[in-house]
A and B are shown apart, each in its own frame.
Chain A
Amino acid sequence: MSVAIDRRALEPWQDPSAVPFVRIERVTKQFGDIYAVDDVSLSIFQGEFFSLLGSSGCGKSTLLRLLAGLDYPSSGRIFIDGADVTDIPPYQRPVNMMFQSYALFPHMTVEQNVEFGLEQERMPRRERAERVGEMLDLLKIGELRKRKPDQLSGGQRQRAALARSLAKHPKLLLLDEPLGALDKRLRENTQFELVNLQERIGTTFVTVTHDQEEAMTMSSRIAVMEAGRILQIDTPTGIYEFPSNRFVAEFIGSVNLFEGRVMQRDGDLVTVETRLGRPIQMRCPLPLALGKPVTIAIRPEKIRLSAAYRDDAVNQIRGTVEDIAYLGDVSIYHVRISPDQVTRMTLANIQPQTEQELTWGQEVAMEWSPTSGVVLTD
């Protein structure tokens, strides 16, 4: 029982009585004939680290700009902390944004950049200086205070931009591809720093990213977007393990898809008939009509591979090893299971590669349990 309460505090979206901090209600943004954001509704809770994930042009940045007030929705309403901000201009919203290009003012020092927002608030000078100091310390860039943006490295600029957008203590911080301009190594370190920072100050973060790994590492929840619509909102685990549709399954990580029809139902266990030999049994909580076409999605690492074909296994498909890509920690196997389908699976290299029994051209059997994948209906 106590576990359940804990879960509610950490995952307010599970609690029907929780009041969302940001509420986007049926928001649409049209540019000419193009629907950049198409009838999106979304709730974000206090203290969340929420990510909008999608490929470029999916509408995620537009949605962020709508939250910031840099664009106005064609229809729908936006509420932040209970107040309707739909028509409020950006300079009156309790929201700040970190821009993808950082948008540091090139003619001002780091200090002046951080102070800029506070000046607009008419904060007294003494308090302003104090707050600037706090922010520079928080981001550990105190010694750079007198520098101008072009005298900073990429990572330092990112920190300066972050300090500037946090200086006003916004209720909501928006981050547009916060790590996009950093090189790979720096990006990985910064991901954790950003999460720690967010936990420390407790501000609600909404980020936009096209990098699924980044979204998985940092977020409390992720909204996957495509063509202006949200396809799924869930925790990183939920998005990865239980994608709700084909697009999300394929967009996040890699996946093997088997098409078939529902043949039999037994409680939450369905049996699906495919063209690949024996029927496949999967756990599925959805009520599915018999004969309904479905797709079974199974992640490559959930599949076991063996040289021996066993008659008693539940889900088993035969195939031939066609390709092996050795990546060090894991190897990727491509197994042809029919003339027009190749399955992909990942095996951890527990033993040195040389001692492994599987090789090119070998007949193998693939197995997985009914709980290691999902049944998709679209």
Chain B
Amino acid sequence: MPPTARPRQPGRRLSRLVNIGIPYLWLGIFFLLPFVIVLQISLAEPRLAQPPYTALAEWLGDGVLSIRLDLQNYLLVLSDDIYLAAFMNSLKVAFFCTLLCLLIGYPMAYAIATAPSRWRIPLLMLIILPFWTSFLIRVYAWIGILQTSGFLNNFLLWLGLIDEPLAILYTQTAIYIGIVYSYLPFMILPLYANLTRLDRTLLEAAADLGCRPFRAFVRVTLPLSRAGIIAGCMLVFIPVVGEFVIPDLLGGPDTLMVGRMLWTEFFSNVDWPLASALAILLLGLLVIPFVLMQRWQLAAEDPDR
């Protein structure tokens, strides 16, 4: 017997078109297409005009199309130590900040997840609340704390721990403090979400089988929270590599980070092609952790797959 055709559902077709089509189109135009343009401009030459770059393709008359791809921007970035140093430093800062966030965030997420249930939501709200206030202002608050005549130095002087103020602001240390402070909630939230789903009877079973609490944590809790750890780390690592505001406000003039470099090339030096090349390289650097995150996220959403 031939299978009957699935009944036509014009409503569903329309729903498909609207629900998928409209956001897809929006993201295609305003998120994907711009990268193509960045790539294109990263291959152009800078010039003093508006816009400040040369066209890649030009009609030279007589039907001759001239396409000039200029790899000079990439060569410059790859050959000049200062750019390389900026990339390396960004990766280093992002790595250590992620590690610090994990070391502080994991116990906090664990403490919240294992707190009595009526405390969990308020404790979690307290983590989220600063996230709702302005990022810029929270970074600003640290200037007042870390500067030479700031609270921290005053406090340490008053305690008698130091004799003269420490120079913390405008150093790499200040950047670490600022980043860990700003990105901590991004680490705690996925970890918390993961740890609350953990079945507590598993730990009881481990204890029943003679496993001491610490070993049970290492053998049971930690492996089961792997998805949360990866999500949290990626949510911190990826944006921090390209962070601009924190290094700019808390770091010194000698602190090199890619995001800041890109900003400088773009706004101060008006070298759009070079800024674009930096953006493309940064993007290339972040693709790997991003794909990893995506894969882990899918696996966590649908464990049967």
Contacts and interface: CB of A to CB of B under 8 A. Distances in A.
A72 B7 contact: yes
A238 interface: no
A86 B4 contact: yes
B148 to A, nearest CB: 58
B2 interface: yes
Interface stretch (A16-24, A74-82, A226-234): A74-82
Interface string B1-18: 111101101000000000
Contact of B6 (A72, A76, A88): A72
B7 A75 contact: no
Contacts of B4: 73-77, 86-87
Interface in B1-48: 1-4, 6-7, 9
A74 B7 contact: no
Interface residues of A, number: 11
Q: Which of B2, B4, B9 has the most CB of A within 10 A?
A: B4
A28 to B, nearest CB: 8
Contact of A89 (B1, B2, B7): B7
A95 to B, nearest CB: 16
A322 B299 CA distance: 53
A93 interface: no
A26 B9 contact: no
A88 B1 CA distance: 21
A77 B7 CA distance: 12
Nearest to A75: B3
The main secondary structure of chain B at its interface with chain A is loop
A75 B7 CA distance: 11
A72 B9 CA distance: 11
Interface string B164-195: 00000000000000000000000000000000
Nearest to B8: A87
Interface size on B, as a range, is under 10
Nearest to B1: A75
Contacts of A86: 4, 7
Interface string A87-124: 11100000000000000000000000000000000000
The main secondary structure of chain A at its interface with chain B is loop
A112 B6 CA distance: 34
A26 B7 contact: no
A74 B7 CA distance: 10
A26 B1 contact: yes
Nearest to B7: A87
Interface in A328-369: none
A369 to B, nearest CB: 46
A72 B3 CA distance: 11
A269 B121 CA distance: 75
Contacts of B6: 72
Interface string B90-128: 000000000000000000000000000000000000000
Contacts of A87: 4, 7
A200 B1 CA distance: 41
Contacts of A76: 1, 4
A89 to B, nearest CB: 7
B299 to A, nearest CB: 21
A75 B9 contact: no
B9 to A, nearest CB: 7
A86 B6 CA distance: 10
A88 B4 CA distance: 13
A89 B9 contact: yes
A73 B1 CA distance: 13
B6 to A, nearest CB: 6
A354 B4 CA distance: 66
A87 B9 CA distance: 10
B7 to A, nearest CB: 4
A24 to B, nearest CB: 13
Contacts of B2: 75
B191 to A, nearest CB: 31
A122 to B, nearest CB: 19
Contacts of B7: 72, 86-89
Interface in A173-215: none
A278 B72 CA distance: 102
Nearest to B2: A75
B157 to A, nearest CB: 60
Nearest to B5: A87
Nearest to B4: A75
A163 B1 CA distance: 40
B3 A74 contact: yes
A26 B3 CA distance: 11
B117 to A, nearest CB: 20
Nearest to A69: B7
Contacts of B9: 89
Given A72-B6, A72-B7, A74-B4, 14 more contacts: A26-B1, A73-B4, A74-B3, A75-B1, A75-B2, A75-B3, A75-B4, A76-B1, A76-B4, A77-B4, A87-B4, A87-B7, A89-B7, A89-B9
8 contacts: A26-B1, A73-B4, A74-B4, A76-B1, A77-B4, A86-B4, A86-B7, A87-B7
Interface of A: 26, 72-77, 86-89
10 tightest CB-CB pairs across the interface, nearest first? A87-B7, A75-B3, A74-B3, A75-B1, A75-B4, A72-B7, A72-B6, A86-B4, A26-B1, A73-B4
